Amino acid sequence: MDPILTGFGILADPISLAVILLGTIIGVLVGALPGLSSSMAVALLLPFTIYLEPVPAISMLAALYCAGTFGGSITAVLINAPGAPPAAATAFDGFPMAQRGEAGRALGMAAVSSVIGGIISLLVMVLAAPALAKIAHSFGPPEYFALAIFGLSMLASISGKSPVKNLIGGALGLLIATVGVDLTTGVERFTFDVPELYEGISFIPILIGLFAVSELLSQSDVIDQAKERINLTAIKLPSRDDFKQVWKTILRSSGIGTFIGILPAEGSTMAAMIGYNEARRWSKNGDKFGTGEIEGIAGPEAANNAATGGSMVPTLALGIPGSATAAVILGGLQIHGIRPGTYLFENQPHLLYSIFAAMLVANLVFLVFGLAGAKLFSRISLIPRTFLWPAVFALCVVGAYGVNQSLVDVTIMLIAGFIGFWLKRYGFGAAPIIMGVVLGSLVENSLAQSLIIFDQDVSRFLGRPVAILFFVLAALSIFYKPLFGAVHRMRSGPTISQRGE
Amino acid sequence: MIRHWRDLLPGCVLLVLAGVLYWVTTGFGTVPPSFAQGMQAADMPRLILGIIALLSLVMIYQGRGHDEEAKPVITWRMWATTLVLLASVFLFGVLGLTLTTMLTCLVIPLLWGERRKLHVVIYAIGVPVCIYLLFTHALQLRLPQGVLSPWLS
């Protein structure tokens, strides 16, 4: 009981409560601003949390993550421009509803579905994370190596055009993590005689560069478009009839979102898309989806917010991020000297409950703030990019500089931004690179330790059933698409060849 | 011909990068196996570079017969913004963060086509002042102030 009370004690501390509320408001705001994502906001805020105690710092980031996922739905409904990718599916039915004068009802449903999805996933988080950590207690380096490989292999199936490009991104991240003096041998790697690189490339400048500076460069060529903005008269909470219609959808999507979130690397965007598709598949009015169907809002909104709690499960229990934003939060844990996994649950069990409390508060607060302030947030989303992005750049510089008080970090941020811009142009996302950077040391250290245990005999991995299980899952996540594609082609071969596909 | 190899350019760049970095790893020092604890310093980077090269080949192969996807046109604004950002990094050391932020907040909006000049000027003064007050006074973060150091600390 003690860890629970200690964890929830964060809500009794005015400063901690204030930073959680601040994180929630920033989250909704950032989520509502097209182009700014919750990953980017967490990355930008991370350097400033260094000045906070670890528990409120991580709680603030977690609250921002929750609120940012919801914030995107405001602009998705009101101006048909999802503030963040997870809200893209919400726009399919949210905007048509707004067009026919039901913006308040759509936003009310989005908020309530998000809160229910978020709270269900938090309950799963608080139950599943310690259990998973307990299982991981028996893991040795070979199992952790296999688990990290499984986590990276899941990059093949995250949203993006090309699984291979996601995997290349992950490998590039791993390569970045090798820069610096190798702690085992003392040998310099890719330091090019720059003393600031001896300790490796700082995580934060890379993060800010890849997420924020690359987006700034993309925004420089964006042509301003006049958006049709629906006037919001009043927010309407879902009626009893609405609830009757959507409760099954909300529960189903919450389950889907939590499960997708728990899978390493899979985030809210995929959860929302699957949530939407499943809502359509199971709905009696599936054919009306896309024309302003209330279930088309409840499905993706419950799923995308449920993915936030779900993604914290592997992040806290195993040190394997459940999503891109969770990867950034994992970086935050590392910066604050918190080691996820069994160690965390044995030595700082209250942290889990603090994060639970923070995310719970975030869910309840964004229900109030999000609804009461929807009108304001939708106006803020119309800030011209010409004024938004220079201020973001200033924050980027302060954030990159602030951690080590080093201008080299600012230079690294810019280089990461330029590289990120070109990679994005050719279909490589920032998230896989971040996942690679975060998992880099785990992959290398666990492999090296495994080789010592196995006396350099790699075949002895075969004697570790859990490691084999993770390797098989990794192989499946990489090859399931080509395998299923081949099977499908074999089954319907003549038809396909006739079509010339 | 090249147009029908969708990812040929990024694939080739990655292959060259992998080759060059592999060559760089040949310059890494080695230690006796007993100190290396399972892996020499160059082993992991080489393994990763090998994987990048392999995946790049797969990517190039998958792109055969597919046209290059249409990408947004890069205009002079992107290049000019890049130059402004590069220049700002060099200026941080000399002018300090507040003055450099002021300049970037002045130049970028104008570069991106903002016509409300008075708004831009107010913005260019307001943002650095807010950042200075927030970070230097509220969060006690020491930011480099360059030529303004005697007055702003």
The C-alpha of B97 sits at a distance from chain A's nearest C-alpha, in angstroms, of 8
What whole-number distance in Å separates Cα of residue A98 and Cα of residue A119? Answer: 27
pLDDT one-digit tens code per residue, B56-88: 999 999 888 888 778 888 889 999 999 999 999
Classify residue B91 as exposed, middle or buried by CB count within 10 Å of its CB (0-12, 13-18, 19+). Answer: middle
What is the number of structural domains in chain A?
A: 1
What single DSSP character describes residue A321? -
Neighbouring C-beta atoms of residue A435, cutoff 10 Å: 30
Q: Residue A300: its pLDDT value, please?
A: 92
Tokens at residue A106, please? 């759509």
Cβ separation B101–A418 shorter than 8 A: no
Q: Does B75 touch chain A (CB under 8 A)?
A: yes
What whole-number distance in Å separates Cα of residue A23 and Cα of residue A41? Answer: 10
Tokens at residue A391, please? 């201020």
Residue A500 resides in a domain = no
User: Could you give the C-alpha distances from A334 to A196, A257, A424, in angstroms and in order?
Assistant: 20, 26, 27
Tokens at residue A467, please? 């490691």
* In contact, A122 and A359? CB cutoff 8 Å: yes
* In contact, A114 and A295? CB cutoff 8 Å: no
* In contact, A99 and A398? CB cutoff 8 Å: no
Out of B35, B77, B119, closest to residue A185 by CB: B35
Q: What are the chain B neighbours of A460 within 8 Å (beta carbons)? A: none
Q: What burial letters (b/e) apply to A361-381, b meaning 16+ CB within 10 Å?
A: bbbebbbebbbebbbebbebb
What whole-number distance in Å separates Cα of residue A119 and Cα of residue A113? Answer: 10
Residue A374 resides in a domain = yes
Those of residues 391-450 in A touching chain B at CB distance below 8 A are 391, 393-395, 397-398, 401-402, 405, 407, 410-411, 414, 417-418, 425-428, 444, 447-450
Q: Which of B81, B122, B143 to mutate to test the interface with A (most CBs of A within 10 A)?
A: B81
Tokens at residue A179, please? 């820069």
Mean pLDDT calculated for residue range B39-53: 93
Q: What are the chain A neighbours of B140 within 8 Å (beta carbons)? A: 51
Residue A499 resides in a domain = no
Residue A496 resides in a domain = no
pLDDT one-digit tens code per residue, A222-246: 766 555 666 666 667 788 888 888 8
What whole-number distance in Å separates Cα of residue A433 and Cα of residue B36? Answer: 27
Q: Residue A222: its pLDDT value, please?
A: 74
What whole-number distance in Å separates Cα of residue B100 and Cα of residue B119? Answer: 18
Tokens at residue A387, please? 């004024």
Closest CA to A394 of B69, B120, B16, B103: B103
Q: Residue A497: its pLDDT value, please?
A: 42
Residue A268 resides in a domain = yes
What whole-number distance in Å separates Cα of residue A416 and Cα of residue A179? Answer: 14
* In contact, A38 and A366? CB cutoff 8 Å: no
CA dihedral sign, ordered A240, A242, A245, A249 = negative
Q: Residue B109: its pLDDT value, please?
A: 94
What whole-number distance in Å separates Cα of residue B142 and Cα of residue B153? Answer: 7
CA dihedral sign, ordered B77, B80, B85, B86 = positive
Q: Which residue of B has its CA nearest to A220?
A: B78
Helix (DSSP H) and strand (DSSP E) numbers for chain A: 22, 2
Cβ separation B42–A164 shorter than 8 A: no
For residue A493, the number of C-alpha atoms closer than 13 Å in the C-beta half-sphere is 4
Backbone angles phi, psi at A210, to 5 degrees: -65, -40
Those of residues 94-133 in B touching chain A at CB distance below 8 A are 97, 100-101, 104-105, 108-109, 111-114, 119, 123, 127-128, 131
Q: Residue A290: its pLDDT value, please?
A: 85
Those of residues 168-187 in A touching chain B at CB distance below 8 A are 168, 171-172, 174-175, 178, 182, 184-187
User: Could you give the C-alpha distances from A489 to A140, A161, A291, A357, A428, in angstroms and in order?
Assistant: 41, 21, 34, 50, 28
Residue A498 resides in a domain = no
Cβ separation A414–B85 shorter than 8 A: yes
Neighbouring C-beta atoms of residue A305, cutoff 10 Å: 42
Residue A242 resides in a domain = yes
- ipTM of this complex: 0.91
Higher pLDDT among residues B39 and B59, named by residue: B59
The C-alpha of B68 sits at a distance from chain A's nearest C-alpha, in angstroms, of 10
Q: What is the CA radius of gyration of chain A?
A: 22
Cβ separation B31–A188 shorter than 8 A: no
What single DSSP character describes residue B43? H
Neighbouring C-beta atoms of residue A84, cutoff 10 Å: 31
Closest CA to A38 of A285, A205, A268: A268
Q: Does B30 touch chain A (CB under 8 A)?
A: yes
Tokens at residue A15, please? 């400063």
Q: Does B67 touch chain A (CB under 8 A)?
A: no
Provide the domain limits for residue A319: 2-491
What whole-number distance in Å separates Cα of residue A231 and Cα of residue A218? Answer: 29
Q: Residue A498: its pLDDT value, please?
A: 42
Q: Does A190 touch chain B (CB under 8 A)?
A: yes
Q: Does B88 touch chain A (CB under 8 A)?
A: yes
What whole-number distance in Å separates Cα of residue A373 and Cα of residue A375? Answer: 5
Tokens at residue B4, please? 């029908």
Tokens at residue A394, please? 């200033």
Tokens at residue A21, please? 């509320």
pLDDT one-digit tens code per residue, B105-121: 999 999 998 889 999 99
Element (H, E) at A262: helix A240-262
* In contact, A168 and B55? CB cutoff 8 Å: yes
Q: Where are the alpha helices (DSSP H) in A79-140?
A: 88-99, 103-136
Q: What are the chain B neighbours of A167 within 8 Å (beta carbons)? A: 55
Residue A67 resides in a domain = yes
Residues of chain A with pLDDT under 50: 495-501
Element (H, E) at A309: helix A295-318
